[in-house]
Chains A and B, each alone.
Chain A
Amino acid sequence: MLNMIKRFLEMLFPWKNNTDSRNRAKSRLKLIIAHDRASINSDMLKAMREEILDVVARYVEVDREEMEFSLSNDQRMTSLTANLPIRQVKRLSELKENLTENSAFDLQDIEIVETERGPEEANA
Chain B
Amino acid sequence: MSRIIVVTSGKGGVGKTTTTSNLGAALAKHNRSVALVDADFGLRNLDLLLGLEERVVYTAIDVLAGECRLAQALVKDKRIKGLVLLPAAQNRNKESVQPEQMKKIATALAKGYDYILIDCPAGIELGFRNAISAAEEALIVTTPEVAAVRDADRVIGLLEAEGVNKISLIVNRVKPLMVEENKMMSVEDVLELLGVPLIGVVPDDEKVIVATNRGEPLVLGEYESVPAQAYSNIARRLEGEKVPFLDLMANQGNIFSRLRRMFGG
Say whether A and B bind each other.
yes
Cross-chain pair count, CB within 8 angstroms? 61
- Taken together as a complex, chains A and B put the C-alpha atoms of A26 and B145 apart, in Å, by 9
- Please determine whether A33 and B265 come into contact, CB atoms closer than 8 angstroms: no
Main secondary structure of the interface of B (DSSP, over half): helix
Q: Does B186 contact A (CB under 8 A)?
A: yes
Q: Does A52 contact B (CB under 8 A)?
A: no
Of A12, A13, A15, most buried by chain B (CB within 10 Å of CB) is A12
Q: Using C-beta atoms within 8 Å of the partner chain, give the interface range for chain A.
A: 20 to 34
A32-B185 contact given A12-B256, A12-B259, A22-B179, CB 8 Å threshold: no
Q: Does B1 contact A (CB under 8 A)?
A: no
Please tell me which one of the listed residues B146, B183, B265 contacts residue A29 in the complex, with CB atoms under 8 A apart: B146
- Please determine whether A26 and B265 come into contact, CB atoms closer than 8 angstroms: no
- Taken together as a complex, chains A and B put the C-alpha atoms of A20 and B181 apart, in Å, by 8
- Taken together as a complex, chains A and B put the C-alpha atoms of A36 and B156 apart, in Å, by 12
- Please determine whether A28 and B146 come into contact, CB atoms closer than 8 angstroms: yes
User: Considering only CB atoms, which chain A residue lies closest to B196 in the complex?
Assistant: A76
- Please determine whether A21 and B256 come into contact, CB atoms closer than 8 angstroms: no
Which residues of chain A are within 8 angstroms of B186 by Cβ–Cβ distance? Answer: 22
| Chain A nearest CB, measured from B13 CB (Å) | 18
Please tell me which one of the listed residues B182, B196, B256 contacts residue A22 in the complex, with CB atoms under 8 A apart: B182
- B residues sitting closer than 8 Å to A (CB atoms) are 144-146, 149-150, 153-154, 156-157, 179, 181-186, 189, 193-196, 256, 259-260, 265
- A residues sitting closer than 8 Å to B (CB atoms) are 11-15, 18, 20-23, 25-26, 28-30, 32-33, 36-37, 40, 75-76
